[in-house]
Amino acid sequence: MDYDVALVSFFGMFAVVIGLILIVIILQWRRNKRLPKLVVNAEFLEKRIQKVRHSRRGKVGYHTTYSRLYVSTFEVEGGEHITLFVKKPEYHKLKKGDTGKLSFQGTRYLGFEKAEGKRK
């Protein structure tokens, strides 16, 4: 009897956590969708790779994999810094000091069009 209660409690908590994660993702997506698409003059400052570790139980022990998130920081007019996640091909094109037009919508990166021959 106690085993059944513990099992139901575990799966209930698991479902709640998954539900909350999905709600946060959906709310962020909706918030981004409602915001205007902005194009601003910006300078590319830095980039970094954020490793994310994924562990799961395998047939023998645990299996661990890693994924990478490509993070880029821009400085827009007025000195504000904006940090956005970009895709791998974009990440490799960006060079420190590049200037140009940054396009984004909320927290979603849309692109960076480099100015011809301009670099600080």
> pLDDT, tens digit, for every residue of 34-80?
989 999 999 999 999 999 988 888 777 788 889 999 999 999 999 99
Round to whole Å and give the CA distance between 90 and 115.
Answer: 15
Q: What does the pLDDT read at residue 5?
A: 82
Q: Residue 120: pLDDT band by 50, 70, 90 thresholds?
A: low
118 has pLDDT over 70? no
Ramachandran bin of 55, using left for φ above 0, alpha for ψ from -120 to 50, beta for the remaining angles: beta
Annotated domain spans of the chain? 1-34, 37-119
pLDDT of 59: 76
In this prediction, residue 94 carries a pLDDT of 94
Residues 75, 97 contacting (CB under 8 angstroms): no
Cβ atoms of residues 77 and 92 within 8 Å? no
pTM: 0.70
What per-residue confidence (pLDDT) applies to 61?
Answer: 78
Question: What pLDDT is attached to residue 119?
Answer: 59
Whether pLDDT at 117 is above 80: no
* pLDDT given at position 63: 80
Q: Over the chain, what is the mean pLDDT? A: 89
Which CATH code is given to the segment(s) 37-119?
2.40.50.660
What number of other Cβ atoms are within 10 A of residue 93's Cβ? 12
